[in-house]
Amino acid sequence: MDYKKIYSEKIITFKEAAKKINSGDQVYMGPNNCAPIHLISALCERVNELENVDIYSALLMYPHEFLNLGFKGHINYHTFFLGPIERRMIGFGNVDISSVHFSKANWMVDNVVKPNVALIEATPPDEKGNMNFGPTGAALNEIVLKHAKLVIVQVNKCLPVCLGESNSVNVKDVSFICEKDHPLPELPQPKVTDVDKKIAELILPHIPDGATIQIGLGGIANAVGYGLEEKKDLGIHTEMLTDSMVYLAKKGVINCSKKNHNTNKLVCGFGIGSKELYDFMNKNPLIHVAPIFKVNNPLEVAKNDNFISINTALMVDLTGQVGAEALGYKQFSCTGGALDFVEGASMANNGKSFICLSSTVKSKGEIKSRINVSLLPGTAVTIPRANVQYIVTEYGIADLNNKSIETRVRALIDIAHPDFREELLQQAKEAKLI
């Protein structure tokens, strides 16, 4: 049958689509910039008709109505990576947090989410009837669709067509289709501070020409990313494609020609950032999107020689335990891919992983050290100390790789802010760490 006929037969209104959802359904919703926002809005209008509908997604970029407390019990929201919008609703909203290693996201879908409904966004069909998932859908959509009995797609012409694997669904394999275009949300870039620049300056000499890199978001990440413009023949294997990488690729710094694994391919789980980034991803043969659990698998990461992983943290204790997602019981993000890439880098030939943080933070008008004798009570250990290679502040790089406790303590005190070093030394002695 002609795919155009199949497509037209499956088109329904958003209101009709929302009525297909029943109480008790387990719903997977496309995350961040690939959320079917009009479909979700229609579902939210039925809040008082529904009980215990569970929506699973991550890193929301829209202030969806279901985040409000009044939806709890009717339409519940579960996130496996906390973004700024979700963070604001913690404590007085409708947000349930699961901190998941992205390398194990497939296990989460198979064994925890078990979605019977998928609400996703995609491009209009190509000549074979395949609808592309855009910059984020390849991360999990394919495995979700293996479970979902009801698949409703919002077709959005603004989505870029992203090349790679597990990145499309055919019109014959979806239940219903709704149509509504909208521009993709953009992620504003944070300001790069002088401290960020200093940290970047310390790391850049450790990144050789031809290396394959992974960098996240944030001021430090941008300082490193844009600081790489004098390097040559860099490769990318990262969970997230960012604007700094697009900048380097357009300058020819990133060409992936020296990668020994997936040569000539910029591998990512998803892309998030500016319209320029989305335009760059559109039908670009350099880009290879793939499922996040494959991209983040440490064994897959480790296939890349000269792999450099750069991540950030909120706090580090004097033995090298890294808290990158929470301070005390206050959650800021989730585990995501931090440990995945640290482990992958440690197994790669000539691999290196850097955990970066400013030496201090201002909290309630008071300057506090980010390096402390212990983590705050309740703080999740995102990266165990035995996995850590390098910790970086604006005062230097501490090499903790397989070092003794006393060596670790002294190295971390050396890169703490000078105003706190004497106090930290005394606390370490009292704790009998040295």
pLDDT at 123: 98
End position of a domain, from candidates 146, 179, 212: 179
Phi, psi (rounded to 5 degrees) for 207: -105, 105
Structural domain boundaries, residue 108: 3-179
Whether residue 86 is contained in a domain is answered as yes
Find the radius of gyration of the CA atoms of the chain.
22
| The pLDDT of residue 1 is above 80 | no
What pLDDT, in 10s, does the model give residues 268-289? 999 999 999 999 999 999 999 9
| The pLDDT of residue 56 is above 90 | yes
Nearest to 291 by CA among 29, 26, 109: 109
- 153 and 216 part of one domain: no
Whether residue 189 is contained in a domain is answered as no
- DSSP assignment of 387-406, as one string? G--EEEETTEEEE-TT--HH
Note the Cα 32 to chain centre separation in Å.
Answer: 10
Whether residue 242 is contained in a domain is answered as yes
- % of the chain at pLDDT higher than 70: 100
| The pLDDT of residue 351 is above 70 | yes
Give the chain's domain count. 2
- 255 and 169 part of one domain: no
Q: Residue 56 in contact with residue 76, Cβ under 8 Å?
A: no
- 122 and 218 part of one domain: no
End position of a domain, from candidates 121, 154, 179: 179
- 153 and 200 part of one domain: no
| pTM attached to this predicted model | 0.95
CATH code (residue 313): 3.40.1080.20
- 349 and 380 part of one domain: yes
Per annotation, catalytic residue among 121, 239, 325, 394: 239
Where residue 19 falls (left for φ over 0; alpha for ψ -120 to 50; beta otherwise) is alpha
Whether residue 207 is contained in a domain is answered as yes
400: confidence class by pLDDT, cuts 50, 70, 90? very high
Does residue 165 have an active-site annotation?
A: no
Q: Decide: helix, strand or coil at residue 229.
A: coil
Average pLDDT on 177-206 reads: 96
- 376 and 273 part of one domain: yes
pLDDT at 284: 98
Q: Which amino acid is at 388?
A: V
Nearest to 333 by CA among 50, 102, 103: 102
pLDDT at 105: 97
Show the CA angle centred on residue 248, arms to residues 163 and 284, nearest 5°. Answer: 15
DSSP 137: G
Distance separating alpha carbons of residues 202 and 193, to the nearest angstrom: 15
What pLDDT, in 10s, does the model give residues 370-382? 999 999 999 999 9
Are β-strands 26-29 and 117-122 bridged in parallel, bridged antiparallel, or unpaired?
Answer: parallel
| The pLDDT of residue 386 is above 80 | yes
What pLDDT, in 10s, does the model give residues 76-111? 999 999 989 999 998 888 999 998 999 999 999 999
| The pLDDT of residue 183 is above 80 | yes
Tokens of 36: 């079917």
- % of the chain at pLDDT higher than 90: 95
Show the CA angle centred on residue 115, arms to residues 153 and 380, nearest 5°. Answer: 115
Phi, psi (rounded to 5 degrees) for 241: -80, 130
Q: Residue 76 in contact with residue 96, Cβ under 8 Å?
A: yes
pLDDT at 162: 98
- 405 and 284 part of one domain: yes
- 224 and 334 part of one domain: yes
Distance separating alpha carbons of residues 258 and 260, to the nearest angstrom: 6
- DSSP assignment of 10-49, as one string? HB--HHHHHTT--TT-EEEE--GGG--HHHHHHHHTTGGG
Beta bridge partners of 53: 75
